Structure 1
């Protein structure tokens, strides 16, 4: 990053007189532009409001706008265009300095109050000198840059500008060490000097301390709290896994009950191993495509929670029969967004600390599409003191714009609040004493990008692009279906209703503005078969439009497989061969995540690739042509096969092996807990375990979580009995093991297992 006095300043000047040469107005605006350029300011020239707006939308490196109010016909129509430009700018950037330029004599009619409020200053081009006007613009640029950088980023900029000599860690000393060897020099030049100059040890008091939350780092966390609506926010540099473990360490003691979403990340399992908590699980539903849905609200009532605790064989060991903590995954990886306000009210009757794991959902606060569906709703001060303490964890690197590893913990204090000093001990146990300051800055900048109107503008852009892609796929599918051909279908409601008019549209034909701004178009309504979660109350769950899944043909409405179908593992392999990497693949769906980095060109290429797959699949193109990497991985197995040949074999195995059936059975029930995850983990670390192959695993107690990907949810947790040889969990693993053997290169990842010679083994307690 650069200091404010070294950032290249860019000004957009929208003035039709820039094209002229002889008129007084042309000479005067040209003199103003020349004066700015003499002082090193880059000026972009635009002759119309339309071109000016296009520049502002496409170039966020513009720092100031000079706008001629009398451009064009200088009439009501041109003034309306200028007003529209200013409105659209302010929706994206409320701080950019705007100078409205006019000649008093040429001014037609009074400016409105709205226009006056959208602009910052006025320039009467024929009165003040060009040099004076240029100085006014430069002063506004300085103020803009000073206000643009949030606290820590500003401190880091200033530190880098001071160019100190350090005699402390790190040893590369601002990157100098790298320049002393050929490989080091390549590394240094690849990343640039600024990264290394801003990588320093904790001796730099001017930057504050991550562990004591002091100085600019503390100010940065306070800034993030204001942006995200929390009482306190903590910057975390080793992912939301560490954020989740921090919260659990602070909230749960040995032999205390924790209400845990079974649809949980592995870090929740790790938090249980650290704390010694007794998990009582809330189970989510599952549809015919294997999508894990939300927990039904009936499971969150006090009576249901009390019954779950009473039925848990480990709960009798608990210090109290009241849970001290609850965690819910919101939104899920597949895009299931809870009515978080209602979920909090339900859970708050039984527990004082509620944690929403929103790793994939840090943007929700900033767009009205998600109103009431996230943890940090409204202002922190607007919530009642007698409500539960609420935590949210955000992976700012996932769908916001921070660097990898960055995360935030947000806290809204209420009942059961944990004071900062106590919480910080848990935080320090998960943090490094040698943080990379570039990560802190990127976390803060990701928050700053969401502040003010830019947050809604940025998130709306993502929603708009995702909807455009969904509708394009739906239109292609409909066109091909009319010809009797197959194609992929977007996973969303096939029809939507405009609540204002009652008009019902096919999804492909619905007004894009309706889909982009009306949450009811994305709610899982009862009785709609597309989502497969019919028992849910209306409004309880919303499908996040930016988590875009396509469904391949083959799964029938009754949950049975058709005789013919397209296995999505093959689709993903094909896309990968063409440089397209989906987020996740199940047997019947491929998931793509839209973010601020997705463009029309990117999703247009995706649709082209899906069409290419259809063409090559229907033509049964040889694997040697379309999937050479697959063929190279197992040439004897795939020799002479075409794309459809392999797809037909895969589909036949899905039907014969009943993978979907056993997956559903494995997630429909909970194994019997024999000991807590902590006891199981300690046995593993002490070596009091044995590695047991699948064919000998019946009724053994596992000491690791067994987590097939997809869906990435544990079928068995540490301390649970894996059940009989013909039970759901071993049967599901047996099917996955056979799949890996039958189709080399397409094995499912099963975390917690150790594969050797095609056999899965799992660490279990010694018998």
Structure 2
């Protein structure tokens, strides 16, 4: 993360010489310097090279327009503008919210400027690093040593054995030094939700539009059990999607609860089309309660959103309509829905609270975001008993969580924040649309059999395409209007 891009004004002596001095001073600070030839080259460079940690440019030549363009790519990136005594400073208070600093062209001040650029770079790296990960990095850099678990003792045990040395060299020192015990007090506690762990939960909740978030290091199978164990106490009745993950079937085996099944539709291809609207009605649930031995009115509902074939519900309608106090959206495969406008109203954390109800959303951060395997999140919106919930959380969560795994969850969330995060998701959506169109084109050009994609015929723009009544492409005979959407 030590690359600086410089946009100088070549051939102007009183500007060239100070920049040459600065180049040497920045190299001594450990920076790599690159020189884009145009503003367009610079913007492409920033877009495709996230290791760039600053831009130096001539204010008279580029000014606020360049700053605004860079800001759209990364609003946190430090910008350093060189000016002279005749430069015009037409900057508003809004513009000054950018990470923008001014320096004057002069000889003999390169060391001072480079020191300040190093300082601002460190502040930038500190700003973009989320709280728990930052604390873990600091702990490792300080080289502390504790006489507690894990037994490999920051990797030293591996280096006492030939095969252990192979293992150490493969994974690297920092990975093993960051694998520390829950006894390290300055890192807080995942189970008690204190210190940097608590800061990480608050950071993640803000990122995903939740009121509270929990990091789970045993996968979303465990997250689903935690939510179910809390929300459906022994003797209660719950509504459960027949298209649920096996972890929820395991929950039913573990708990003395009465399940009432919500039955999804299915087309001729075997694709599940989601639970039809009639299944959510008060009348339908009343009939099922009456027909189920030992059932009472359900206190909790579990809905798979999205389905394994990429169908999302109109979750706002379900939240308003379904007459239960607690709804869990198992969204293992779609942790990205809070970060693109096409998913508005189609995720568990979409929209505001609904009085008298609490919503849970579980997500496999490792499936579609950049987290380690087993990384998972639980998001909550609405009133709930935090102390009781945490008992269910501790029941299923190890007392020896992997701290590198926790840091990967938080970092996956950090990657989605701000303009860089929006750009990542936008590009992913654009590439998915491009891939769909390419397969469609190849199928049209093929002389014999070729792969097809299950989707509407006209997919000119990225969207969540409605599974509407009367349309042939999806194959569902009883589709509801404004209910299911293909991602």
Query: 1:167 aligns to what SS in structure 2?
Result: coil
Distance in 2 (CA, whole Å) between partners of 1:336 and 1:41 is: 47
1:429 aligns with one of 395, 399, 414: 395
Q: In the alignment, is residue 396 of structure 1 matched against residue 339 of structure 2?
A: no
Q: In the alignment, is residue 205 of structure 1 matched against residue 180 of structure 2?
A: no
How far residue 354 of structure 1 moved from its aligned partner, in angstroms, is 0.3
**Cα 1:114–1:48, aligned 2, differ >3 Å: closer, same or farther?**
farther
Q: How does 1:543-554 map to 2 (within 5 A)?
A: 543-544=486-487
Q: In the alignment, is residue 383 of structure 1 matched against residue 346 of structure 2?
A: no
Q: Which residue of 2 aligns with 1:407?
A: 376
Distance in 2 (CA, whole Å) between partners of 1:343 and 1:454 is: 32
Query: After superposition, what is the alpha-carbon deviation per residue over 1:40-69, rounded to whole angstroms, capped at 9, x for unaligned?
Result: 222222221121112101111111122334
Q: Which residue of 2 aligns with 1:749?
A: none
Q: Which residue of 2 aligns with 1:368?
A: 341
Distance in 1 (CA, whole Å) between partners of 2:485 and 2:399 is: 40
Distance in 1 (CA, whole Å) between partners of 2:254 and 2:364 is: 21
Q: Which residue of 2 aligns with 1:525?
A: 468
Does the Cα contact within 8 Å between 2:9 and 2:15 map onto a contact in 1? no
Does the Cα contact within 8 Å between 1:341 and 1:372 map onto a contact in 2? yes
Query: After superposition, what is the alpha-carbon deviation per residue over 1:353-412, rounded to whole angstroms, capped at 9, x for unaligned?
Result: 10000111111001101011101125xxx424x241100001000001110001011111
**Cα 1:47–1:69, aligned 2, differ >3 Å: closer, same or farther?**
farther
Distance in 1 (CA, whole Å) between partners of 2:191 and 2:99 is: 42
Query: After superposition, what is the alpha-carbon deviation per residue over 1:16-40, rounded to whole angstroms, capped at 9, x for unaligned?
Result: 52xx5x7222222222222211222
Q: In the alignment, is residue 466 of structure 1 matched against residue 466 of structure 2?
A: no
Does the Cα contact within 8 Å between 1:93 and 1:453 map onto a contact in 2? yes
**Cα 1:451–1:128, aligned 2, differ >3 Å: closer, same or farther?**
farther
1:24 aligns with one of 14, 17, 25: 14
Q: How does 1:233-312 map to 2 (within 5 A)?
A: 233-312=213-292
How far residue 117 of structure 1 moved from its aligned partner, in angstroms, is 5.3
Q: How does 1:533-544 map to 2 (within 5 A)?
A: 533-544=476-487
Query: After superposition, what is the alpha-carbon deviation per residue over 1:70-120, rounded to whole angstroms, capped at 9, x for unaligned?
Result: 44xx7xxxx7xx73x54453334221112233445476x956887665552
Q: How does 1:571-610 map to 2 (within 5 A)?
A: none
Q: In the alignment, is residue 179 of structure 1 matched against residue 159 of structure 2?
A: yes
Query: After superposition, what is the alpha-carbon deviation per residue over 1:474-524, rounded to whole angstroms, capped at 9, x for unaligned?
Result: 1222223xxx433222221112xxxxxxxxxxx4xx3xxxx13x54xx222
Q: In the alignment, is residue 43 of structure 1 matched against residue 33 of structure 2?
A: yes
Paired residues, number: 487
Instruction: Determine which structure has more spread, i.e. the larger CA radius of gyration.
Output: 1
How far residue 159 of structure 1 moved from its aligned partner, in angstroms, is 0.9
Distance in 2 (CA, whole Å) between partners of 1:368 and 1:336 is: 16
Does the Cα contact within 8 Å between 1:355 and 1:390 map onto a contact in 2? yes
Q: In the alignment, is residue 492 of structure 1 matched against residue 472 of structure 2?
A: no
Provide TM-score, normalisation by structure 1: 0.61
2:2 aligns with one of 6, 9, 15: 9
**Cα 1:327–1:171, aligned 2, differ >3 Å: closer, same or farther?**
same
* Higher RCO (CA-CA < 8 Å; seq separation 6+): 2
Distance in 1 (CA, whole Å) between partners of 2:82 and 2:316 is: 48
Q: How does 1:320-399 map to 2 (within 5 A)?
A: 321-347=296-322, 350-378=323-351, 382-384=352-354, 386-399=355-368
Does the Cα contact within 8 Å between 1:91 and 1:457 map onto a contact in 2? no
How far residue 534 of structure 1 moved from its aligned partner, in angstroms, is 4.3
Q: Which residue of 1 aligns with 2:78?
A: 97
RMSD over aligned CA atoms reads: 2.2
**Cα 1:308–1:104, aligned 2, differ >3 Å: closer, same or farther?**
farther
What runs of 5+ residues in structure 2 fail to find an aligned partner? none
How far residue 150 of structure 1 moved from its aligned partner, in angstroms, is 1.2
Distance in 2 (CA, whole Å) between partners of 1:534 and 1:377 is: 28
Query: After superposition, what is the alpha-carbon deviation per residue over 1:202-241, rounded to whole angstroms, capped at 9, x for unaligned?
Result: 2211111111111111111121111112221111000000
**Cα 1:485–1:116, aligned 2, differ >3 Å: closer, same or farther?**
farther
Distance in 1 (CA, whole Å) between partners of 2:200 and 2:271 is: 38
Distance in 1 (CA, whole Å) between partners of 2:77 and 2:356 is: 39
Distance in 2 (CA, whole Å) between partners of 1:525 and 1:98 is: 49
What runs of 5+ residues in structure 1 fail to find an aligned partner? 1-7, 496-506, 545-767
Does the Cα contact within 8 Å between 1:367 and 1:455 map onto a contact in 2? no
Q: In the alignment, is residue 65 of structure 1 matched against residue 55 of structure 2?
A: yes
How far residue 428 of structure 1 moved from its aligned partner, in angstroms, is 0.6
How far residue 128 of structure 1 moved from its aligned partner, in angstroms, is 9.0
Distance in 2 (CA, whole Å) between partners of 1:134 and 1:180 is: 43
**Cα 1:69–1:470, aligned 2, differ >3 Å: closer, same or farther?**
farther
Query: 1:286 aligns to what SS in structure 2?
Result: coil
Query: After superposition, what is the alpha-carbon deviation per residue over 1:317-361, rounded to whole angstroms, capped at 9, x for unaligned?
Result: 24xx210110000011211011111111111xx210100001111
Q: In the alignment, is residue 440 of structure 1 matched against residue 406 of structure 2?
A: yes
Provide TM-score, normalisation by structure 2: 0.94
Distance in 2 (CA, whole Å) between partners of 1:411 and 1:53 is: 38
Distance in 2 (CA, whole Å) between partners of 1:123 and 1:267 is: 59
Q: In the alignment, is residue 166 of structure 1 matched against residue 141 of structure 2?
A: no
